[in-house]
Amino acid sequence: MVRKGKELNFGEGLLEGLREADGVKMGRPRKLDPFQQREALKRLKAGETAAAIDRTYGDHRSTIERLTPSA
């Protein structure tokens, strides 16, 4: 079955396949919007600690640390 030019995978379930075809993102929404992510990364690069940044956004330190690419 094809919908909007994308082939559906019935092995994953019809509902999930339909959501993917319609462009719906699955999973938990991000805690920081793209602007906040960029600002947090700038502050990390400037030497500010993740704990200090997380207090600004009301998140946990690990949320901020996950923004940095893995080495």
Query: Rounded to two decimals, what is the model's pTM?
Result: 0.59
Per the structure, the count of domains in the chain is 2
Q: Are residues 24 and 41 in the same domain?
A: no
Q: Is residue 6 part of a domain?
A: yes
- Containing domain of residue 61, as a range? 34-65
**Model confidence over 13-68: pLDDT tens digits?**
666 666 666 666 777 888 899 999 999 999 999 999 999 999 999 888 998 999 88
In our burial notation (b when 16+ CB lie closer than 10 A, e otherwise), range 27-46 reads: eeeeebeeebbeebeebbee
Q: Are residues 3 and 23 in the same domain?
A: yes
Q: Is residue 71 part of a domain?
A: no
Could you write out the DSSP letters of every residue in 23-53? TPPPSPPPSS-HHHHHHHHHHHHTT--HHHH
